[in-house]
Amino acid sequence: MTSNKPKGFELALFIFVLALTSFFVYFSKQSSLNTTKETLTSVAQTQFQAILQASQMSAERFYDDHSHNIAQYMAKALNASPSEKALIRDQLLDEYQTFYDNSRNKGLGVLHLFEKDGTSLLRFHRPREFGDNTIQIRESVNQLVHHQRYTQGLEIGRFREAYRFVFPLFYNGQFVGGMEYSLDFSILRNQLAKQFGGEYQQFLLKDAIAKHTFKDEETNYYQPSTLDEKFLIAKKHALYQVDFAPYINEIKTTANFQEQMASKQAFTVLFNHQSTDMSATFMPLFNTKQDFIGYLLSIHAFKNNEISTLHNQMWIELISLWTLLTLLFLAWRKQAQSTHLIRQILDAQPTMVALSENNKLQFANKTLLNFLGYSDYTAFTQKHDCVCDVFEKDEHFLQKNMQNQLWTDYLNTHPKGINKVKIKNPTTQKMHIFEVTIQQVKNHHINNLITFNDITVIESEKADLKKENQQDKLTGAYNRRGFDILYHEINESFNPKLSLIMLDIDYFKVINDQFGHQTGDHILEALSALISANLREEDAFIRWGGEEFIILLQNTDLKTATLIANKLKTAISQHTFTKVKKLTCSFGVTQHLITDTQESIVKRADQALYRAKKEGRNRVISR
């Protein structure tokens, strides 16, 4: 009786430890895979947005250069007879058809002009198709007609889908119509492949296409996809679809694929194709009304088959671990107690592991103690009762108390809540970020098994990617996306002393024409460096577009902001620039009002800048 009982207990304990440590190995690798998929999803979305943003800038440049001239034609068409409109179309084609044909070779898909009621006046890609009113089909045209509002986004039209940028046109202050500058998917796909590599395909809902597109165009232009009968692809990409077919068949067999497709959210799956590890990222596509209409698929190959390597490492670690545990178990039956064995095993883990009873630390493995700079468990508990005592205070990370709960209780009850913590390494003084997992254990003195997985490098890469996405590459200033995020963060906690300066380089077009765009770029870089050197750390410097910049000044009233603008004006006019020697800028200054939106404060500063330009340039106007 007495000899059999310990053996049964020992065997049960051995199986428990084997299962527990195997779970940690599996969970650690699975966590790495999930982190990889999240990072790939974020990168793919950022790359797609970067291409769209570049296209938007091209559209804005075309609008800035040609809108006034085109608006003159649109004004003539307001009350024109059909024959007069035909003459206006011919004049527009004579003036812009060559430019349009050349632009198509560089990436422009469609140039389309609308009358003020939404009626098509001229499609440069189909000049014989006109006179149809698209206000019921196209939300962007609806916004144009009823609100004279700029709209952008993916939209399905009468002939096909396109990524559209729709601008209102005004002549002498009167709304006279609209101009659409758009690109089809083949152009964006080529730009994505050229910039970032990989393969891309667009899948659109069949019902969405049927709702908007002419029936004969739907039949001629689209065909079913192998992804799902609910989706179509463009026929002119049919050859591309053949290449995608084996990918699609393998992607559809990945775990939870149908559930992820139904979520209408971005996700990445990992698969192996012909002995090559690959990733497939699905990015949801929404129209201008924010209705889901399909997915953009991005496929990339891993250079070194990292996923297969990770799986192989997991099996090697598991087999090594099982062998080690078996040997330890045989030795332990002769000379060690169960608690000591578990601690030896946990001490051998490369991951930081802790055992706790509620908030009181009962055990910390060597990896955790070494990181925190303690020789053993006793040395740590002489200063701390809880491992949470070393958590850095940061509202975005796990704290000792979370929502009136102990942090361990919070982790157990909020599996999708905050699960990251900051801990400083006392030896290197470097801050590390850990992903924390918790497993409840039924034991007399222990109820939580906690692991800390170091994700500092991954978080740093994410931060770098986020910074790159918000930064203008030429000048190092924030771009418009960065401005949107900064303004939103500031506006959440209203600051009555927020001021905004908008400035523009005087006669910059003359400089580009006389000295070339490369000199123009050097001037933009030098000017940005000069302005940044004259700003405080809390001020934000943004490249708004071309030679136009914005400065956000926190805790600064209008009077002080005007003084700062004058100081910058003087510094710029006295600075010697390469080739052009002297340079001046015009400034518009305003202060944030409690009723302001992002659009209204920028518009007010832009109006002040316009006055500065009109009154002779190289001056500051505040309002």
pLDDT of residue 3: 42
- One DSSP character per residue, 90-104 reads HHHHHHHHHHHHHHH
Strands 222-224 and 199-205: unpaired
How confident is the model at residue 503, as a pLDDT?
A: 97
Residues (pLDDT < 70) of the chain are 1-14, 17-18, 20-30, 105-108, 217-218, 236-243, 304-342, 442-446, 461, 464-467, 492-496
> Quick one: tokens of 209?
């296409």
Provide the pLDDT for residue 529: 94
pLDDT at 83: 93
Q: DSSP label at 387?
A: G
Who's near 596: CB < 8 A, 6+ residues apart?
none
Residue with token string 């103690």:
369
- Please report the beta strands in 371-419, taking only residues with DSSP state E, as ranges in sequence order: 401-402, 405-406
Other Cβ atoms within 10 Å of 40 Cβ, number: 20
Q: Indicate which residues carry an active-site annotation.
A: 547
Rounded alpha-carbon distances, angstroms, from residue 158 to 134, 165, 604, 622: 8, 16, 38, 47
Three-state SS string across 132-157, please? CECCCCCHHHHHHHHHCCCEEEEEEC
* CA-CA-CA-CA dihedral for 464, 465, 467, 473, to nearest 10: 110
Cα radius of gyration (the chain):
31
Cβ atoms of 420 and 435 closer than 8 Å? yes
Q: Please tell me the predicted confidence (pLDDT) of residue 22.
A: 64
